[in-house]
Copies of this chain bind each other. A is one copy, B any other.
Amino acid sequence: MAVDASRSITKQSKDFSQWYLDVIAAADLAEHSDVKGSMIIKPYGYAIWERMQRILDDRIKATGHQNAYFPLLIPESYLKKEKEHVKGFSPELAVVTHAGGEKLDEPLVVRPTSETIINEAFSRWIQSWRDLPMLINQWANVVRWELRPRLFLRTTEFLWQEGHTAHATEQEAEEEARRMLGEYRTFVEKTLAIPVVAGEKTEMERFAGAARTYTIEALMPDGKALQMGTSHNLGQNFAKVFGVKYLDKNNEEQFVWQTSWGVSTRMMGGLIMAHGDDGGLILPPAVAPVQVVVVTIGTNSAEKKKVTSTIAELCGELGKLGVRFTVDDRENETLGAKIYTWEKKGVPIRIEIGPKDVAVKKAQVKRRDAGVKEQLPLAGLGKKVEALLADVQVSLFEKAKARLEGKSVFAKTMDAFEAAIEEGKFAYVPWAGSTVDELRIKEKTKATVRCLPFEHGYSGGACIATGKKTNTIAVFGRSY
């Protein structure tokens, strides 16, 4: 759009927050709306989200879940049934008090999440052990009133999927919660090319109403942690208040064991920050709406004519290989302007073809993630591009992984811990503290426990907060 195209991007090193907003504007991903905290997701941003959705949805179905759709508006009384849940969500609710020209007898909340209304349904749907496990997923919009909005990262309305499952045993629910966290981890690492630390949340950061919350946490280049997805073992908390019961094989009534899990458009924020540079967005090929742009050199029709058949041939080859490509042969734009258009949008590979290239049967190929422009033979270029795309996908992950590892330290003392946090690192520490200890550290350093990681290379030691000997390791960081 005309308005954004002229806008330049602030350097990352100068002001990371402004860089983030500039990239969103330059790549035409999203913008704020007049309703505080609400966001318009523009076509290019939405196309990336659709790619994410499609890939995740396939995995959610492949692991046995079925999609369904539950109402947006939830009776306020539902939310009040689970006391931790209502306590957690009350400050964030948007409430419908009037509808159809009249005041409602009971206010309706716009769903902040759907545990309550889904459990009301489960209490009717689940009768026997034969109905279990019940494995449901929903793609939906949710609203949580946001006082400090930030595009994609914190918005009043956001898009997400929320899985909701019911099981016969505690163990099955626990396995499900961990399985879906594993799916998220695989998706974020393989598809978004963002390495994460997977682990359990402490009580302080647990989902309102959950027995255990698992999380995957990424570290952004500015040294802040970003929670990319969570999966909850809900125990029997919701089952008990909504009466979700089944007759077991001995004909005895039992409450079900449950999970819920979700990822949202917040992942878009992680994607932008994890890979982008001063030139704008850099997209992993797996989620790039356009993986390859073919840019013509030469702005007049005569020059264009010389390259037409070569480009048609190349496009045929790319199409057959299933590569998502576009051709930029705009005559009213300079080569520089054409290049800038696609660079800021993060298209993984750019191919430039002009009359001189055609004459020597070559094309110039540039990876968005690496600096060098290569001249490559046109013969077999499609296959070569396919291999390059695979390499870009891996390279982006490796680069982000190296950064994560370089910014992960083990801190034995409070001093070392504070220094690590100041440097924008993930600090692994021996931990035997309570919520009070966490709050004290948060107050002093703005860092919180991101998770108790499932895997780490460290043995225990003396807890940095309490001095108690412990084998538990916690990862601290400052978060968005």
Contact = CB atoms under 8 A, between A and B. Distances in A.
Contact of A121 (B40, B99, B108): B40
Nearest to A4: B125
Nearest to A120: B34
A47 B117 CA distance: 20
Most chain B beta-carbon neighbours within 10 Å: one of A43, A69, A117, A141: A69
Contacts of A130: 2
Contact of A35 (B74, B93, B156, B157): B74
Contact of A47 (B39, B40, B67, B71): B67
Nearest to A146: B100
A256 to B, nearest CB: 14
Interface string A49-61: 1100000000000
A70 B40 contact: yes
Contacts of A42: 68
B95 A35 contact: no
Contacts of A41: 68-69
Nearest to A135: B43
Nearest to A67: B46
Contact of A71 (B40, B145, B147): B40
A79 to B, nearest CB: 13
A95 B94 contact: no
Most chain B beta-carbon neighbours within 10 Å: one of A73, A93, A108: A73
A107 B136 CA distance: 34
A149 B33 CA distance: 32
A33 B111 CA distance: 14
Given A92-B100, A101-B90, A2 B46 contact: no
Interface residues of A, number: 61
A358 to B, nearest CB: 29
Contacts of A127: 1-3
Nearest to A70: B40
A68 B48 CA distance: 11
A97 interface: yes
B75 A34 contact: yes
Contact of A69 (B46, B78, B95, B131): B46
A125 B92 CA distance: 31
B95 A91 contact: no
A31 B34 CA distance: 35
Interface in A284-300: none
A91 to B, nearest CB: 5
Interface in A108-160: 108, 110, 117, 120-121, 124-125, 127-128, 130-131, 136, 140-141, 143, 145, 147, 156-157, 159
A98 interface: yes
A34 to B, nearest CB: 6
B95 A98 contact: yes
B95 A157 contact: no
Contacts of A263: none
Interface in A9-65: 31, 33-35, 38-43, 46-47, 49-50
Contacts of A101: 90-91, 93, 145
B145 A99 contact: yes
Nearest to A44: B66
A95 B99 CA distance: 6
Interface string A338-352: 000000000000000
A142 to B, nearest CB: 9
A159 B69 contact: yes
A465 interface: no
Contacts of A157: 71-73
A322 to B, nearest CB: 16
A69 B31 CA distance: 11
A107 B94 CA distance: 11
A70 B78 CA distance: 28
A452 to B, nearest CB: 31
A97 B93 CA distance: 11
B91 A68 contact: no
A241 interface: no
Given A3-B125, A34-B75, 6 more contacts: A2-B131, A35-B73, A35-B74, A96-B97, A96-B110, A110-B110
Query: Which 8 pairs of residues, A with B, have the shortest CB-CB distance?
Result: A100-B145, A43-B66, A38-B71, A41-B69, A94-B99, A95-B98, A2-B127, A97-B97
Interface of A: 1-3, 31, 33-35, 38-43, 46-47, 49-50, 66-75, 78, 90-101, 107-108, 110, 117, 120-121, 124-125, 127-128, 130-131, 136, 140-141, 143, 145, 147, 156-157, 159
